[in-house]
Amino acid sequence: MKNVSMIELNNMGLVAVLEESLGINKSAGYVVSWDKKTHIVDLKIPRFIDEIPILKIGSFDNCSSLKNVIIPKPIRIISDYAFANCSRLTNVSLSNSIIDIGKSAFWLTAIKKIILPQKIEKLRDGVFASCEFLEDINIPNSIVEIEDFAFWNCKSLKKSTCHQH
Protein backbone atom coordinates (compact mmCIF):
# COMPACT_ATOMS: atom_id res chain seq x y z
CA MET A 1 0.00 0.00 0.00
CA LYS A 2 1.26 3.46 -0.90
CA ASN A 3 1.10 6.06 1.85
CA VAL A 4 0.18 9.48 0.53
CA SER A 5 -0.29 12.19 3.11
CA MET A 6 -1.50 14.90 0.73
CA ILE A 7 -2.51 14.62 -2.89
CA GLU A 8 -2.59 17.92 -4.63
CA LEU A 9 -2.57 17.88 -8.38
CA ASN A 10 -1.40 20.86 -10.38
CA ASN A 11 0.09 21.63 -13.77
CA MET A 12 3.66 21.65 -12.49
CA GLY A 13 4.42 18.00 -13.22
CA LEU A 14 2.87 16.39 -10.15
CA VAL A 15 0.07 14.95 -12.30
CA ALA A 16 2.42 12.56 -14.08
CA VAL A 17 3.59 11.13 -10.76
CA LEU A 18 0.08 10.60 -9.45
CA GLU A 19 -1.68 9.33 -12.56
CA GLU A 20 -0.97 5.81 -11.38
CA SER A 21 -2.93 6.56 -8.18
CA LEU A 22 -5.82 8.53 -9.68
CA GLY A 23 -7.98 7.62 -12.64
CA ILE A 24 -8.27 10.80 -14.67
CA ASN A 25 -10.22 11.42 -17.85
CA LYS A 26 -8.36 14.55 -18.99
CA SER A 27 -10.43 15.19 -22.10
CA ALA A 28 -13.64 15.29 -20.05
CA GLY A 29 -12.14 17.15 -17.10
CA TYR A 30 -13.16 14.33 -14.78
CA VAL A 31 -11.33 12.80 -11.81
CA VAL A 32 -12.81 9.33 -12.12
CA SER A 33 -11.42 7.26 -9.27
CA TRP A 34 -8.43 6.43 -7.10
CA ASP A 35 -6.13 3.46 -6.74
CA LYS A 36 -7.53 1.57 -3.75
CA LYS A 37 -3.96 0.66 -2.73
CA THR A 38 -3.13 4.34 -2.11
CA HIS A 39 -3.57 5.59 1.45
CA ILE A 40 -4.99 9.15 1.12
CA VAL A 41 -5.53 11.38 4.17
CA ASP A 42 -5.92 14.86 2.65
CA LEU A 43 -7.22 15.44 -0.86
CA LYS A 44 -7.29 18.70 -2.75
CA ILE A 45 -8.96 18.21 -6.11
CA PRO A 46 -7.13 20.10 -8.87
CA ARG A 47 -8.62 23.06 -10.70
CA PHE A 48 -6.92 22.11 -13.96
CA ILE A 49 -4.95 19.21 -15.38
CA ASP A 50 -2.86 20.06 -18.42
CA GLU A 51 -4.83 23.31 -18.78
CA ILE A 52 -8.15 21.43 -18.92
CA PRO A 53 -10.57 22.48 -16.15
CA ILE A 54 -11.74 19.72 -13.82
CA LEU A 55 -15.54 19.91 -13.75
CA LYS A 56 -16.60 16.62 -12.15
CA ILE A 57 -15.43 14.34 -9.35
CA GLY A 58 -15.95 10.61 -9.55
CA SER A 59 -15.61 7.91 -7.00
CA PHE A 60 -13.43 8.07 -3.90
CA ASP A 61 -15.85 5.79 -2.05
CA ASN A 62 -14.56 3.46 0.63
CA CYS A 63 -11.34 5.44 1.12
CA SER A 64 -11.18 4.72 4.84
CA SER A 65 -8.07 6.86 5.44
CA LEU A 66 -9.48 10.06 3.90
CA LYS A 67 -10.06 12.84 6.45
CA ASN A 68 -10.05 16.15 4.56
CA VAL A 69 -11.27 17.15 1.11
CA ILE A 70 -11.02 20.49 -0.66
CA ILE A 71 -13.11 20.91 -3.80
CA PRO A 72 -12.25 24.22 -5.54
CA LYS A 73 -13.67 26.11 -8.51
CA PRO A 74 -14.38 25.30 -11.38
CA ILE A 75 -15.67 21.88 -10.25
CA ARG A 76 -19.43 21.73 -10.80
CA ILE A 77 -20.50 18.12 -10.13
CA ILE A 78 -19.86 15.59 -7.38
CA SER A 79 -20.96 12.16 -8.63
CA ASP A 80 -23.28 9.67 -6.93
CA TYR A 81 -21.50 7.89 -4.05
CA ALA A 82 -18.35 10.02 -4.62
CA PHE A 83 -17.25 9.91 -0.97
CA ALA A 84 -19.63 7.24 0.34
CA ASN A 85 -18.31 5.17 3.22
CA CYS A 86 -15.23 7.34 3.72
CA SER A 87 -15.71 6.68 7.40
CA ARG A 88 -13.00 9.08 8.64
CA LEU A 89 -13.93 12.00 6.38
CA THR A 90 -14.63 14.88 8.78
CA ASN A 91 -13.82 18.05 6.82
CA VAL A 92 -15.15 18.99 3.40
CA SER A 93 -14.71 22.37 1.78
CA LEU A 94 -17.03 22.92 -1.19
CA SER A 95 -16.67 25.79 -3.67
CA ASN A 96 -19.69 27.78 -4.76
CA SER A 97 -19.17 26.58 -8.34
CA ILE A 98 -20.77 23.22 -7.44
CA ILE A 99 -24.28 22.89 -8.87
CA ASP A 100 -24.98 19.19 -8.21
CA ILE A 101 -24.07 16.71 -5.49
CA GLY A 102 -25.04 13.16 -6.41
CA LYS A 103 -27.13 10.76 -4.38
CA SER A 104 -25.44 9.26 -1.33
CA ALA A 105 -22.32 11.30 -2.15
CA PHE A 106 -21.42 11.69 1.54
CA TRP A 107 -23.26 8.64 2.93
CA LEU A 108 -21.61 7.14 6.01
CA THR A 109 -18.94 9.80 6.52
CA ALA A 110 -17.89 11.52 9.75
CA ILE A 111 -18.61 15.07 8.57
CA LYS A 112 -19.53 17.32 11.49
CA LYS A 113 -20.42 20.56 9.70
CA ILE A 114 -21.06 21.45 6.08
CA ILE A 115 -21.84 24.63 4.21
CA LEU A 116 -23.59 23.86 0.95
CA PRO A 117 -22.81 25.85 -2.21
CA GLN A 118 -25.21 28.61 -3.23
CA LYS A 119 -26.13 27.12 -6.63
CA ILE A 120 -27.39 23.68 -5.56
CA GLU A 121 -31.13 23.24 -6.14
CA LYS A 122 -31.78 19.84 -4.58
CA LEU A 123 -30.42 17.57 -1.91
CA ARG A 124 -30.43 14.16 -3.52
CA ASP A 125 -31.56 10.87 -2.05
CA GLY A 126 -29.34 9.83 0.85
CA VAL A 127 -26.75 12.55 0.23
CA PHE A 128 -25.88 12.75 3.96
CA ALA A 129 -27.54 9.52 5.13
CA SER A 130 -25.93 7.87 8.15
CA CYS A 131 -23.64 10.83 8.81
CA GLU A 132 -23.97 10.15 12.50
CA PHE A 133 -21.61 12.98 13.50
CA LEU A 134 -23.24 15.69 11.36
CA GLU A 135 -24.22 18.46 13.78
CA ASP A 136 -24.59 21.55 11.63
CA ILE A 137 -25.61 22.16 8.03
CA ASN A 138 -26.11 25.43 6.19
CA ILE A 139 -28.77 25.04 3.46
CA PRO A 140 -28.77 27.84 0.87
CA ASN A 141 -31.92 29.53 -0.46
CA SER A 142 -31.33 27.90 -3.85
CA ILE A 143 -32.62 24.54 -2.50
CA VAL A 144 -36.08 23.79 -3.87
CA GLU A 145 -36.23 20.07 -3.12
CA ILE A 146 -34.93 17.70 -0.46
CA GLU A 147 -35.23 14.12 -1.67
CA ASP A 148 -35.96 11.05 0.47
CA PHE A 149 -33.48 10.01 3.13
CA ALA A 150 -31.20 13.04 2.54
CA PHE A 151 -30.56 13.21 6.31
CA TRP A 152 -31.62 9.71 7.33
CA ASN A 153 -29.88 8.49 10.49
CA CYS A 154 -28.13 11.81 11.17
CA LYS A 155 -28.40 11.27 14.91
CA SER A 156 -26.29 14.27 15.98
CA LEU A 157 -27.92 16.92 13.78
CA LYS A 158 -28.51 19.88 16.09
CA LYS A 159 -28.55 22.87 13.78
CA SER A 160 -29.75 23.40 10.23
CA THR A 161 -29.77 26.90 8.88
CA CYS A 162 -32.20 27.32 5.98
CA HIS A 163 -32.38 30.52 4.01
CA GLN A 164 -35.75 31.58 2.60
CA HIS A 165 -36.38 32.63 -0.99
CATH number, domain containing residue 12: 3.80.10.10
Tens of pLDDT, residue by residue over 69-127, are: 989 898 899 999 999 999 999 999 999 999 999 999 999 999 999 999 999 999 999 99
> What's the domain range around 12?
2-162
Residue 60: per-residue pLDDT: 86
> What's the burial of 68, exposed, middle or buried (CB within 10 Å: 0-12/13-18/19+)?
middle
Mean pLDDT of 122-134: 96
Check residue 28 and give its pLDDT: 60
Confidence band, pLDDT 50/70/90 cuts, at residue 25: low
Residue 87 near residue 60, CB atoms below 8 Å: no
CA distance 4 to 107: 24
What domain count does the chain have?
1
Please give the pLDDT value at position 87: 96
1-13 tens-digit pLDDT: 343 433 444 333 2
| CA separation for the pair 147, 125 (Å, rounded) | 5
* Strands 56-57 and 30-34, sheet pairing: parallel
